[in-house]
Amino acid sequence: MSKPILLFILLPACCFAGFSADLDGDKYVGLSDLVTMASYWLDNGNPGCQGDTGSDCNIDMEDFTALSQQWQWVECVAVSATASGQEEGPYAASNAVDGSMSTRWSSSFYDNQWIQIDYGVSRTSYGVTLYWENAYARVYNVVVSENGSDWTTIYSTSNSDGGTDDITWPLRSMRYLRINCITRALPYGSSLYEIVLKSDDVCHTPVINWQLVWSDEFDGPSINTANWNWEIGRGNPSGWGNEELEYYTDSTENSYIENGSLVIAALKNTQEPVYTSARMTTKNKHYFKYGRMEARLKLPALEVGIWPAFWMMPQDSVYGGWAASGEIDIMEAVKEPYTVYGTIHYGGVWDHNVNTGGSYSNGTNFSQDYHVYALEWEPTQMRWYVDDVLYLTQTSWYTEGYPYPAPFDQSFYFILNLAVGGRWPSYPSDSTNFPKFMYVDYIRVYQYPEL
């Protein structure tokens, strides 16, 4: 979900008994209400006496004064900010769009650094004001884009003196704005307190109009093989690269439909293979680039050695082997049922790979009921949610030898699995309870036309 646009209210409409200046019913007091009131100026035919604060059914200066006291001012602010890098410490890109002059973005201590702003939806802009810290960019340019890929240079300078740069340009539409800091004025990074867009737009909260493009509701009598494949065996290398213990099967003992949910069952057997489970994928059948990916899951009763996961891998590994082409972990849980994790893997092929992510815990035992685990994936930002609570946002990743936003600019497919053992979850003991069940009520994918 996009961050809400800041709303500044001089005096709320609720405070005027018997009168609200919201004449058009949009729950906003703004320009359209002023126009409506103006059309009723001294008009005895005013239907319902709209906008009249007195009892004469006339609109006069008294009524305009009351409207002005309820006026709501709206400022266009960013949905997200990303950067090529930052100085070590509390100098993130988001500081340059947080409305505070006490925080700032500071780049890494190099030339050719950038900061990019996403305003969530297309804005009609006519300029930007840059508030530089003492460490500023002497040579820089400003570029804008509607899609985050095709950029137009709209301003450039080779002799900035820092301070406040008040920049204007002919009226134009844009969603993304980037400041390319080419040459530093000082041996430190380029640093900005605030970036303020100039826009005449009425900047209501940008609402993403997600549209369902694919789902599996698991409401048939059996698993839909038009949607799912099964990966069989112990993996290559053995243990799926994680030193796991299970042998994955396509047996109906390990994966099946029950009461409108997919069930993945991890079993302990009296003979080899000791542990069996299921690992199901949509590879070559359903794969997606960008959107909201969500699943409603009930996790198994977690103990040491149990590892449920809802994740994504690249349909075509165009940037090379794992993890150069990326991996997206929407939900993982290990060892105990009160914490879930979201992670991305990137950087290069093993052992040049890196991962970044976060965890969510609110005291809930995630094995006792169903919960919705979601990823909202846009070209330069990923957001992780549990039951629509945002707990992790990532905007920085890379893959060696390719431009950002690689590797997460390709299509990925889904994987659902329930592993037994591994380096991260450790290994079950003789006292670990089996069987273990992961329940999947549905998986849904939403996208919107601008993506």
| DSSP β-ladder status, 436-447 and 279-281 | unpaired
448 contacts: CB under 8 Å, gap ≥ 6: 208, 209, 210, 211, 291
Q: Report CA-CA distances (Å) from 349 to 354, 380, 401, 434.
A: 9, 22, 12, 36
CA 78, CA 97: separation in Å to the nearest integer?
Answer: 6
CA 165, CA 192: separation in Å to the nearest integer?
Answer: 11
Q: Report CA-CA distances (Å) from 321 to 149, 317, 377.
A: 25, 6, 22
**The two structure tokens encoding residue 324:** 């150069």
**The two structure tokens encoding residue 258:** 């029950």
CA 339 from centre of chain = 20
Residue 63 and residue 52 in contact, taking contact as beta carbons nearer than 8 Å: yes
437 contacts: CB under 8 Å, gap ≥ 6: 263, 264, 265, 266, 300
**Active site members:** 327, 332
Sign of CA dihedral 266, 218, 294, 387: negative
